[in-house]
Amino acid sequence: MSENIKAISMPKWGIEMTEGDVSEWHFAVGDQVNAGDDLVDIETSKIVNTLVAHSSGTLRRILAQPGETHKVGALLGVLVEGEATDVEIAEFIASASVSDAVVDIADEPASPGPNPAPAAPGPVVQETAAPAPAISTLAQGDDDSAVHASPVARKLAKKYGVNLHNVTPTGRHGRVGKRDLEDAIEKAGGHVERHSGAAVRGDRKRPDDSGIAATPVARRVAKKLGVNLHDCRASGRHGRVNKEDVEAAHALLSAAGKLPDQSALASAETVLSGLPRVEEFALTGMRKTIADRLQSSKQTAPHFRVKIDVELDNLLRVRSQINAANTDAKVSVNDFLIKACAMALVKEPGVNIQFDGDSIKQFADADISVAVAIDNGLITPIVKNANRLGLLEISNNMRDMVTRAKLGKLRPEEFQGGTFSISNLGMFGVSQFDAIINPPQGAILAVGAGEKRPVVKQDELCIMDVVTLTLSCDHRLIDGALAAKFLQRLKGYIQQPATMLS
Amino acid sequence: MSQRYDLIVVGGGPGGYIAAIRAAQLGFETALVEREQLGGVCLNWGCIPTKALLKGAEIAHTLTAMGNFGFSADNIQFDLSKLVAHSRNVAGRLTSGIDFLMKKNGISVISGTAVVSDKCQLTVTNDGNNKSIYQADHIILATGARARALPGIEFDGEYIWGAREAMTPVELPGRLLVIGSGAIGVEFSSLYSDLGSDVMVVEILDRILPAEDAEISAAAQQAFLKRGITIHTSTGVESLQIDNGEVAVTLKDRQGQLIPCVFDRVIVAAGIAGNIENLGLEELGVNTERGFIVTDDYCRTNLVGLYAIGDVAGPPCLAHKASHEGVLCVEKIAGLETHPLKPEQVPGCTYSRPQIASVGLTESQAKDRGHALRVGRFHYGANGKALAIGDSDGFVKTVFDADSGELLGAHMIGPDVTEQIQGYGIGRTLETTETELMASVFPHPTLSEAMHEAVLDAYGRALHQ
């Protein structure tokens, strides 16, 4: 099998992900793809995420059409570095397809089969928004926004994680130029894609031309014509490839027959479009995730519930004191509950867990997932290390995440994971309810409305602000006594908020 | 009962309505509260209607010069009411355009006066004095500003005009005093002078257009004097009395000399004050300073969930700054990557005759910041297009950092400079050096060639002077 044929496979984002919906390709068959380009949008669980290309080449095949659902590891497309015949590509696809298939046709397991083809050349594609590997010695330093640098140098510095203070400027007027940056990276032991400035005609072995300095128009024309910028002269100012250079290279290469045959590409595409299209009504990615996760949770985790009434009077008093004393805060009852749960979880770490079916992970810090209703679904932004955060931090964190949750702008790491969940329907006037555990966690707290209720105290009837909390637990992991102990601690923190300071 | 939105904007001017549109685009459930008309001062009583009036002034001036082009005409009539009607008509059209944009973007427009009654809460009082409560995690104040009254000089709507009265005159004042020579004062002076009033400008500082480069101020003063406008700098208003249908004013210059004079009308354009009153700010402990709300780089106030943009958040009080902040503020809330607005990237324009436009640092500001400078100048008198259109007064000035070649500032006075300054604005945003500006081809014959020449001149390479 050709080493230069690379699989584009369905990635695995988070431990829960088993499949994804292909939403939209950013490139067409025949397009030149550069490492770092956004390749294809995939609707995973709660958001649309973008797969980024990790190597460069020509996108030769798209096997997964928009709207289709594919298992993790399934072959979505083929990227070819340099040259490969249609026969070689067909062989590659055939061997890869033994283990991967469109789930709607065959429900094969996603584990590598006898021919783990996509894995062989190494995963060419994986989820990442991270910059190119930073060279640690160059990354240190104060805010470098004041350093005089060319726009190109600044962009590259960001890409490579370089602080511009660490670069010796030799450009005009003492500006840090692109070359200075490249020199600094290489001196520190890093690697950068460099453009020699000389013409490298017909060299198809160097497909990544993202490092080549070119005018925006030249880059666009080159993409359209299928010309690699390495193959172009750089006659523009500052050694940039300009439009004329690209057109000249195109004329030369076409004459030499070195450009991909457009008609062959077109026919290959026709053959591939014969794959069955899923026409039936499908759940949105989010709905499907909710359905799958909660069905599996309710079926596999033996739920039991423990309920407790908690008086809120002290908490409400402290809350108004805090809010009156801080213009920059509007702490809600829910923010208090997040903090109180985190404190109780640290004391009862047996509840602060994740379970993968075999082993239990018990955490020292509490990452609290908070259910937030959004259009047509819900999402659970996570307050990480809530036990270490102050109330104001928790509150302002939550406001920011709730805002972005509604806009669909949470990052995956902000809602994937968590060691415990809170679901609050108090604002709807619900007295109490039961919640389904959010796997892989072991417990979830359902919070009703705080309301004035008659309470008997020392044989006297009095009126108190009371909320009913219902803890759902997975009995495989948490026993009744532990659940009760956790609720007792939680009640203590809520009824005596000052104890959270300890 | 209260209604909930994700984000509510208070004020429908160029800051507020732009913020609301951007918020709606990003998916916020958005409302906008406006107590008068959408569009704010800019569209209704500021930027746009004054440009409509100034077009009339320009025509008046063109008519005086028509002989140079071979035309003559008798009995030219001018109907002030028609010019004012044109101006109001333009304002009306734009306001309804914004109404359309609000509907198109699904923004709820709430008519009434808003008070921040608690954190993340507004109480809106409508015309019928009914109060409604609205909740939103994010509230953006874009309440704008108004002309600042001077002690002892009250706006009376008849003799003492603010911008609103100055924009809707019933008859031309024969003798007009304009107090203040910022952009607004200078524009009204230019307007009324072209229409035929006898105009005097009084400025407390030592030059007119004090925010501009000193050479620009000097050139503007010369041009206005040539037009017959009287100018008193370093002079204040000592007293002002309305008497028998006239305004008797005593001016006092720096030497203490008193200058008595009489006018038919007075326009006060001595700076503006932020609309920060009756918003509930004091009660909630929102920080204000010199009549404006204090905000950080991303328009956040010290109160949770409360933001301020545009004029009410402080100078430069310009519509385009407000719009830019509106977008910036909303995008920051939405978690998008944003960059704070640098004041020196905000261009300033004055639509007088001659026009004045600038971006970046003045020469003296650049010097004060310790830059070694290269300064270029080019006069329109040596520009072919300016001579052809018979409007060759003025010049272009560029200020470069001698070490880096960065264009620190650009200052223009002359024909249509307000339409051209953005060329330098883009250059500054891209951090271009003189090399790129010199290497760009400027079309011939255009006024913009003077921009090119002013760059060349900074490096001793001007071709036409």
Residue A486 has pLDDT above 70, yes or no: yes
Give the tens place of pLDDT for each residue, A301-354.
999 999 999 999 999 999 999 999 999 999 999 999 999 999 999 999 999 999
**Across residues B321-341, what is the average pLDDT?**
95
A402 touches B: beta carbon within 8 Å: yes
User: If we measure between CA atoms, which residue out of B99, B117, B116 comes closest to residue B108?
Assistant: B99
In chain A, which residues have their Cβ closer than 8 Å to the Cβ of B404? 148, 173-175
The sign of the CA dihedral A172, A177, A183, A188 is positive
The pLDDT assigned to A168 comes to 83
The residue that leads in pLDDT, A95 or A100, is A95
CA distance B36 to chain A (A): 30
| ipTM for the whole predicted complex goes beyond 0.90 | no
B28 touches A: beta carbon within 8 Å: yes
A100, A118 contact by CB (below 8 A):
yes
Q: Using CB atoms and an 8 Å cut-off, which of residues 389-448 of chain B contact chain A?
A: 401, 403-406, 430-431, 433, 435, 439
Please count the other Cβ atoms lying within 10 Å of the Cβ belonging to residue A269. 14
Residue B219 has pLDDT above 90, yes or no: yes
Q: Distance (Å, rounded) from C-alpha B190 to C-alpha B354? A: 9
**Across residues B243-247, what is the average pLDDT?**
92
Chain A and chain B share a number of CB contacts under 8 A equal to 62
**Across residues A477-493, what is the average pLDDT?**
97
Q: DSSP strand E in A322-408: where? A: 353-355, 360-362, 368-370, 372-374, 377-379, 382-383
Annotation marks residue A250 as catalytic: no
Q: Scanning every residue of chain A, which has its alpha carbon at the shortest distance from the alpha carbon of B284?
A: A327
CB-based contacts of B338, cutoff 8 Å, min separation 6:
B298, B328, B331, B332
- Considering the domain delimited by B354-458, tell me its CATH architecture: 2-Layer Sandwich (3.30)
A320 touches B: beta carbon within 8 Å: no
B280 touches A: beta carbon within 8 Å: no
What's the pLDDT band for A198 if we cut at 50, 70, 90?
very low
The pLDDT assigned to A64 comes to 87
The pLDDT assigned to A151 comes to 66
The pLDDT assigned to A16 comes to 72
The pLDDT assigned to A23 comes to 78
User: If we measure between CA atoms, which residue out of A285, A419, A266 comes closest to residue A342?
Assistant: A419
Q: Distance (Å, rounded) from C-alpha B181 to C-alpha B186? A: 5
Instruction: Tell me, yes or no, if the two domains B2-145+273-343 and B160-270 fold the same way.
Output: yes
What's the pLDDT band for B433 if we cut at 50, 70, 90?
confident
Q: In this complex, do B304 and A403 lie within 8 Å of one another by their Cβ atoms?
A: no
Residue A299 has pLDDT above 50, yes or no: yes
The residue that leads in pLDDT, B188 or A235, is B188
The residue that leads in pLDDT, A114 or B404, is B404
A403 touches B: beta carbon within 8 Å: yes
Which CATH number does B2-145+273-343 carry? 3.50.50.60
Q: Which member of A151, A399, A409 has the closest CB to residue B137? A: A399
Give the tens place of pLDDT for each residue, A141-194.
888 888 887 766 777 788 778 888 888 887 656 778 777 877 888 777 777 665
- Ranges of each domain in chain B: 2-145+273-343, 160-270, 354-458
Q: Distance (Å, rounded) from C-alpha A52 to C-alpha A68? A: 19
The pLDDT assigned to A271 comes to 43
User: What is the 3 state secondary structure string of chain B?
Assistant: CEEEEEEEEECCCCCHHHHHHHHHHHCCCEEEEECCCCCHHHHHHCHHHHHHHHHHHHHHHHHHCHHHHCCCCCCCCCCHHHHHHHHHHHHHHHHHHHHHHHHHCCCEEEECEEEEEECCEEEEECCCCCEEEEEEEEEEECCCEEECCECCECCCCCCEECHHHHHCCCCCCCEEEEECCCHHHHHHHHHHHHHCCEEEEECCCCCCCCCCCHHHHHHHHHHHHHHCCEEECCEEEEEEEEECCEEEEEEEECCCCEEEEEECEEEECCCEEECCCCCCHHHHCCCEECCEECCCCCCECCCCCEEECHHHHCCCCCHHHHHHHHHHHHHHHCCCCCCCCCHHHCCEEECCCCEEEEEECCHHHHHHCCCCEEEEEEEHHHCHHHHHCCCCCCEEEEEEECCCCEEEEEEEEECCHHHCHHHHHHHHHCCCEHHHHHHCCCCCCCCCHHHHHHHHHHCCCCCCC
Interface test with A, best of B281, B300, B304, B434 (most A CBs within 10 A): B304
Report the mean per-residue pLDDT for chain B: 95
The pLDDT assigned to A268 comes to 42
The pLDDT assigned to A47 comes to 62
Interface test with A, best of B137, B332, B406 (most A CBs within 10 A): B137
Please count the other Cβ atoms lying within 10 Å of the Cβ belonging to residue A28. 10
Question: What's the CA dihedral at A383, A387, A391, A393 to 10 degrees?
Answer: -50
B369 touches A: beta carbon within 8 Å: no
Q: In this complex, do A329 and B304 lie within 8 Å of one another by their Cβ atoms?
A: yes
Q: Which member of B6, B286, B302 has the closest CB to residue A403? A: B6
What are the structure tokens assigned to B408, written together? 């620190």
Report the mean per-residue pLDDT for chain A: 80
Q: In this complex, do B303 and A174 lie within 8 Å of one another by their Cβ atoms?
A: no
Q: Scanning every residue of chain A, which has its alpha carbon at the shortest distance from the alpha carbon of B307?
A: A328
Q: Distance (Å, rounded) from C-alpha A54 to C-alpha B269? A: 61
Q: Scanning every residue of chain B, which has its alpha carbon at the shortest distance from the alpha carbon of A375?
A: B27
Q: In this complex, do B304 and A330 lie within 8 Å of one another by their Cβ atoms?
A: yes
Q: Could you give the percent of chain B with pLDDT greater than 90?
A: 88
Q: Out of A34-43, B53-62, B98-107, B119-128, which region has the weakest mean confidence (pLDDT)?
A: A34-43
Active-site annotation of B, residues: 444
Q: Distance (Å, rounded) from C-alpha A197 to C-alpha A100? A: 43
The pLDDT assigned to A278 comes to 55
Q: Please tell me the pTM assigned to this model.
A: 0.70
**Across residues A221-226, what is the average pLDDT?**
84
Out of 3.40.50.2000, 3.50.50.60, 3.20.20.10, 3.50.50.100, select the CATH number for domain B160-270. Answer: 3.50.50.60
The pLDDT assigned to A194 comes to 52
Q: Distance (Å, rounded) from C-alpha A101 to C-alpha A461? A: 67
The pLDDT assigned to A181 comes to 79
Q: In this complex, do A403 and B137 lie within 8 Å of one another by their Cβ atoms?
A: yes
The pLDDT assigned to A206 comes to 55
A448, A468 contact by CB (below 8 A):
yes
